Chains A and B, each alone.
Chain A
């Protein structure tokens, strides 16, 4: 793994000390990462899921996206949920039928780009915290 990727993973472990962080290196010096036991709020059932993503070799420059969560998660909140699906509708930016790369797990994709991020300050940990905040606020 490249040094910047290892540092990002260390940041994740230090920033989420109570969560298990699973890591699989990819073939280019990046890593696939899954953080277990993340509370995504009462609008989802179950409210606790894993969240996965890929930190690519070009870290820290790329925006870490998309993120993936457990495919069994259902939306039970009251907000608008335009992504209709027989297995349970989902709010915008979330869609079913995807695969968490590296771990090859069926998944729901959460696609949130940050086009104007600052690579110097916006780490994979910051992005993950924003994703959790996004899910909790649906």
Chain B
């Protein structure tokens, strides 16, 4: 399992934990978290799945060797639960103070006495967390008997909050070309953007303006996934040359299909745009459908995801990754409704939707259509052969697309800068350009039995490597 080790918690779980540990009595309290785990080239992430609070005086009692401890019965019940669910057991208590926390000598002694036995029971990593206000330290024991520290904890919610055992040292001065934005979110914010890996699914009318903005604000690594090539009808919305759509070739009768094959892949266009905006950016382009395992598995390494594609398969995999790996994301889209007979525009809506673990699930909000999934999963040949209604391309206009992209990029930047107001609605934003109106729309809260975000045992939420992503066989 690769270093460094980090922990990710969703905001509802973190708030519940903080409420339990810091009720205002300045005393010590205890709990256990069960966690999924995912190991990638960028490190090993523990993913908080369930919180079990220990009742004071019953499960969390005075200790002979230290101040307080979890009772053997409580530990025994939780470690067996973690073993049965293949989850990582994390015992938790709190100390006083702010911005700095560490295990005491009695804490470390108790780990050394107890954790080898817990490892034997669970067969999976086990560990301890200690929290103070705005600080978290972790001591993880792995089955090879090695001990790892939690280098960073990320709380995923309306803000992406980062916690450390000790305050970070001052970052290096940012590249002076970022001077104007550094004045707003500081050298640390700029350094953070430079360390992020961000995934963009779809490099079309919404995805490409987004790529430009993310590159310009200084995101370090961009992963862009799109299977398509530039088409002549894309040109009014893309920052592309006519040669990208092979326009000269299309003037020669009979060569349209050759022109289609030779047109520029959209991910190559995205690379060109990103590198022009920020020559130092690290760019990964995958010219495949996001449901291809090579593409989907690359996304699990990202710190943030944007969904700028309109297929329901893409929604399904995006929603699954968001919840299974606790990676926050934003889905964007514009819908232009027209009257069937006259073609008159009846409604225009541009939506920018935060999709966070347990908040904004696309499945719970009815945004993954079972019929569209079936249509998209059937082979194109079968679908064409048995189609009896002509499919008409959806209307698309660059101004609506860039509205969505700009709001999404702003949300992303504010979230990582921890600048979103705590009272800000977490619901999605709907732009109604015809009414000159922006409104927050309250989405449905997650269903307990949702297979993606639910609290039921079978849900994929925070399971990491323990369950398969919904992908076709290859």
**Chain A contact residues, CB within 8 Å of chain B:** 1-2, 26-30, 54, 56-58, 61-66, 95, 98-99, 101, 109, 111, 113-117, 119-120
Contacts and interface: CB of A to CB of B under 8 A. Distances in A.
B385 A57 contact: no
Interface in B356-409: 366, 368-371, 373-374, 377-379, 382, 385-386, 388
B313 interface: yes
A29 B472 contact: yes
B386 A120 contact: no
A101 B385 CA distance: 9
B473 A62 contact: no
Interface in B436-474: 449, 451, 470-473
A63 B385 CA distance: 19
Interface of A is mostly: loop
A62 B374 contact: yes
A98 B387 CA distance: 9
B82 interface: no
Contact of A113 (B313, B371, B386): B371
4 closest residue pairs by CB, A with B: A29-B473, A56-B377, A63-B370, A28-B472
Nearest to B370: A63
B323 to A, nearest CB: 14
A117 B160 CA distance: 35
Given A28-B473, A61-B316, A64-B374, 14 more contacts: A1-B473, A54-B378, A56-B374, A56-B377, A57-B377, A57-B471, A58-B313, A58-B377, A58-B472, A62-B371, A101-B379, A101-B385, A101-B386, A114-B371
Contacts of A115: 369-371
Interface in B79-109: none
B136 to A, nearest CB: 36
A101 B382 contact: yes
A123 B313 CA distance: 19
Is chain B's interface secondary structure helix, strand, loop, or mixed overall? loop
Contacts of B470: 58, 61
A66 B378 CA distance: 11
Contacts of A119: 370, 451
B386 A114 contact: no
A98 B381 CA distance: 12
Which of A30, A61, A115 counts the most B-chain CB atoms under 10 A from its CB? A61
A26 B378 CA distance: 9
A119 B473 CA distance: 20
A2 B377 contact: no
